[in-house]
Structure 1
Amino acid sequence: MNNKFKCLLTAMLGAALLLSGCGSDTGKTAKEEGKVFHYGTMAYGPAMQNASTDPHDTYCGWSTVRYGVGETLFKFDNEMNVQPWLAESYEQVDDNTLKIKLRDDITFSNGKKVTGEAVKACLEDLIKRNDRAPHDLKIDNITADGQTVTIHSAEKVPAMINYLADPYGAIIDMEAGIKDKIAVGTGPYVAVKVDDQGIELTKNEHYWGQTKPKMDKIIVRSITDGDSLSMAMQSGELDAVQGLPYASLPNFQDTSKYKISSTATSRVYQAAMNFKTPALQDDRVRKAIAMALDKDKFVNVLLNGNGVAATGAFPDTTPYGKGLNGPKYDPEQAKALLKEAGYTETNSDGYITKDGQPLTLRWLTYTSRQELPLLAEYAQSALKDIGIKLDVNATDNYKDFLKRGEYDIYAQAIVTAPTGDPEYYLMSKIYSNQPYNNGYYSNPQVDAMIDQLHNTFDRNQRNDLAIRIQQQILNDDAVLYASFLKMSFVMKKNVTGFAAHPSDYYEITPELDMQ
């Protein structure tokens, strides 16, 4: 009787549990949490720095905007044209003065209205704490009157509205402050937890936009191992991923299960020659290195076609990236140039020597972008073919080596047109003595053209100057441009409103939904 009673009780409890699930989609846990979106990415910026959604902290603004926490005064459309976002309109009063009229219906996620004074306070903190914004914006003073903000720059800044679309320009509530690395923005989602492992977000109940956020919770996970990212997507643990290894993409071609959104971006994989390295002060050596690499092979074979071979700093789909002539793949001519430079002997290992010393160069890069180790491996093989020994240092501590100058070639992935304008890259990476000019390249003619670009408002003239500057960089063999990233999002078939954008900024938007 006792055993029969136990069996009966078990059956009754099972039935009760079954009935309790009737009428709900996913049971009690899902009912409590609502609609949850699980997103895995290899490109979670702060995981490589100090995790934060404070846009004024180095490059943390990328996470602020990418994951829907903050929005900027201006944004880019799919053709990278700048458009008002939190701004309603703007007026270039004179060469040094920009007047911006804010929308009147914006609120922060805490329900507080976004006013001219709030924007003024945010921008003043930006230029006080960010390492790039002061140099970009050249702001002298800011005034606010109701919903109008007037920015006066110390000199002409023709690309001001483009710079204000950079993620560091995300508008946050300065009175609320930064608590637990969380900023209060205007976006469709609110960060509730931020650390090196990822970020957790909830719906912004005060979102001002016409399209309201559809997800109740979003969990962004930083997964820097490509195989782990792929397996998590295949197992159903994740709803969408960004940054899958190219070899994994064929696993997601089943359109009954998955969708893929891809777009070409201005993220270029480049290698800057260190002009402090004696051997690289000889242009023949730099040119030989450039001629030894077959960019088409790198893109089509090593990247499985998930990229575009580069000539200059900007894609030729942009008006300031057309008509450039760079070094062509020609290993025999590369060998001839090295011989002309005095490397006439070869040691027992097959490497060329000069005065008895082999030509050995240090290639510095990092691993968080899967293309960079592939580029380093390919460069090592290609340069060996022309007799140059390449010692590769692929490390996430690359900044320490940069500070100490312990490298001869520095390869990185960088978005060259984050503001939809060429000046940002040319001023920060090419202009003499700039902190991000990692090759220590200096050409007075190039500096003069960048100065002219900085003072030119006419769009056609700016494009022409940018092309001329890039051509001189290529003539000097100062930077080797390998390829541009083709970014792909892989998602479950039921995910909608989630698409790759050429700016590499906008990911979590109000349109995101799961059917």
Structure 2
Amino acid sequence: MNKKTIFFTAALGIMLLLSGCSQNNSATTSPHSEKIFHYGTMAYGTAMQDAGINPHDTYCGWSTVRYGIGETLFRFNKEMKIEPWLAESANQLDDYTVKITLRNDITFSNGKKVTGNDVKTCLEDLLKKNDRAPHDLKIKNIIADGQTVTIQSSEKVPALLHYLADPYAAIIDMTAGEKDRIVVGTGPYVAEKVTDTEIDLKKNAHYWGKVQPKLDKIIVRSITDGDALSMAMQSGELDAAQGLPYASLSNFQDTNKYKINSAATSRVYQALMNYRTPVLQNNNVRKAIAMAINKDQFVSVLLNGNGVPAIGAFPDNMPFGRGLKAAPYDPEAARRLLAQAGYTERDADGYVLKNGKPLTLRWLTYTSRQELPLLAEYAQSALKEIGIKLEVNATDNYKDFLKRNEFDIYAKAIVTAPTGDPEYYFTSNVMSDSPYNNGAYNNPDVDHLCDQLRNTFDTNKRNELAIQIQQHILDDNAIIYTAFLKMSFVMKKNVTGLEAHPSDYYEITPELDIN
């Protein structure tokens, strides 16, 4: 090869290399390149035991709706008022019958039109498989006719439309089935992969809504360690994060880099007593425990003020959360109550004794809500002050301990009014036959009032009944309500369309975008 040929070849190689680099760079920055959104959350698959998106399976429906995979017949606006979503309208024919008319333009993500028969089949499967739905809906019969669905209940269900806005009622295509934990919904995004720790989403090409999804792909990552979630957000691995510990929010105050969007919710940290535990069958002991907890201190110190001390099950900005009285913080009175219960001696470590035996209790909680372990540590210290020894079990396998009844106090974070109505919480958590009455609480007066609530349509009367029910729970010291939380999203400055909602349901929507 002569020198001219060598020079030409080398020059051509450099030109091609530069051209290739230019094309790669152009593909990254081009407006036609894929928009991929990275989302971190502590909520998905709570403690890894609700990982999945089939709404009929326990609480997996929250993931179905939160991550834009499925939608319900009705939904809540920001004032927590019910409004149609997949439904066009609803007509209450009588106390037991509701006729729902569906929109005529809805398709599943596989392109199949949603009909009344699809809704009927979906709801019937829900009733077979979900442990809460039959108890809530009381459905006796469903009649499908074209784009209408008529639901006949075995009892009066004044809150039926509210229950149909629960994520468990997300409408999925039953003919498509479930494969690798994936179901077919109607939302703006489609699940491509579902694991214990991640959901990969792609844009729904058949989305029926007027606003079309703006992102090509979304990666939802479950990061249950609060520090790890915060670091991933700070390092730029994530575009947005939900569920960051309140102590971490101070890291994201630079408005040139981040935005924080928050909403007050009815999510409360509560600790329920296990009535199967002999020592907790004494109300003096339960009340002593309640009086040892300084709720104001928990909110101001451990939550950094990002919450409100709780009295009952609902915040006082709701009409059925007012006028209640709970046991006040009073450690000295708590010690007297323990003495009245027979705990008149103390051991060398200061723990109370009865017949030579210390009062030792097992506190069960989980870790996917960062503040729950903090609440456990605080309770351990507070109860030691009055002489009760608390053994804390903060575990991802909390459900196994619940099933085996290996706990005395169970603390969890729960949204008490996700339907904008008080009945949901009582029927699922408080009544003697409730599916999530983990403490076996049984008060005939409460059951009677709950039955009245379920058969009352008048809103003011429903509010009065809800207040009466809560006061019974507080008088029994069956559940300690510690604090209501704010829900906060932290996101990069270029993220739009991600807004916190008081129901704690809606997160990934068609409006979500990266500019």
**Common topology (TM > 0.5):** yes
Cα separation, 1, equivalents of 2:205 and 2:46:
26
Name the residue aligned to 1:19: 22
Aligned-partner SS, 1:410: strand
Cα separation, 2, equivalents of 1:259 and 1:295:
29
Whether the 8 Å contact between 2:431 and 2:446 is mirrored in structure 1 is: yes
Aligned-partner SS, 2:174: coil
Cα separation, 2, equivalents of 1:81 and 1:158:
14
Query: Residue deviations 1:50-92, cap 9 Å, x none?
Result: 5322111111111110000110000011111111111111111
Counterpart residue type for residue 237 of structure 1: E
Q: Cα gap change, 1:4/1:383 in structure 2, threshold over 3 Å: closer, same or farther? A: farther
Cα separation, 2, equivalents of 1:216 and 1:471:
50
Whether the 8 Å contact between 1:298 and 1:375 is mirrored in structure 2 is: yes
Query: Residue deviations 1:25-65, cap 9 Å, x none?
Result: 526xx955x11111011111366225322111111111110
Counterpart residue type for residue 412 of structure 1: K
Name the residue aligned to 2:313: 313
1:11-410 pair list within 5 angstroms = 11-21=14-24, 24-26=27-29, 34-45=34-45, 48-49=48-49, 51-410=51-410
Query: Residue deviations 1:250-276, cap 9 Å, x none?
Result: 110000110001111111111111112
Aligned length: 512
TM (norm. structure 1) is: 0.96
Whether the 8 Å contact between 1:115 and 1:146 is mirrored in structure 2 is: yes
Displacement of 1:433 in angstroms is 3.6
CA RMSD of aligned residues (A): 1.8
Whether the 8 Å contact between 1:61 and 1:168 is mirrored in structure 2 is: yes
Name the residue aligned to 1:427: 427
Residue 440 (structure 1) aligned with residue 440 (structure 2): yes
Whether the 8 Å contact between 1:70 and 1:172 is mirrored in structure 2 is: yes
Displacement of 1:356 in angstroms is 1.2
Cα separation, 2, equivalents of 1:251 and 1:457:
47
Whether the 8 Å contact between 1:38 and 1:239 is mirrored in structure 2 is: yes
Displacement of 1:416 in angstroms is 1.1
Displacement of 1:24 in angstroms is 4.7
Moved more, 350-359 or 249-258: 350-359
Displacement of 1:23 in angstroms is 5.1
Whether the 8 Å contact between 1:46 and 1:52 is mirrored in structure 2 is: no
Cα separation, 1, equivalents of 2:206 and 2:405:
49
Cα separation, 2, equivalents of 1:394 and 1:416:
22
Query: Residue deviations 1:275-316, cap 9 Å, x none?
Result: 121211111111111111100100110111122111111111
Counterpart residue type for residue 413 of structure 2: A
Query: Residue deviations 1:153-188, cap 9 Å, x none?
Result: 111111100000000100111111112211111111
Q: Cα gap change, 1:52/1:22 in structure 2, threshold over 3 Å: closer, same or farther? A: closer
Query: Residue deviations 1:191-248, cap 9 Å, x none?
Result: 1111112111111111111111111111111111111111111111110001112221
Unaligned ranges ≥5, structure 1: none
Whether the 8 Å contact between 2:47 and 2:397 is mirrored in structure 1 is: no
Whether the 8 Å contact between 2:40 and 2:238 is mirrored in structure 1 is: yes
Cα separation, 2, equivalents of 1:329 and 1:10:
79
Cα separation, 1, equivalents of 2:273 and 2:316:
23
Counterpart residue type for residue 350 of structure 2: G
Displacement of 1:14 in angstroms is 4.0
Unaligned ranges ≥5, structure 2: none
Q: Cα gap change, 1:50/1:470 in structure 2, threshold over 3 Å: closer, same or farther? A: closer
Whether the 8 Å contact between 1:65 and 1:170 is mirrored in structure 2 is: yes
Whether the 8 Å contact between 1:46 and 1:196 is mirrored in structure 2 is: no
Q: Cα gap change, 1:278/1:50 in structure 2, threshold over 3 Å: closer, same or farther? A: closer
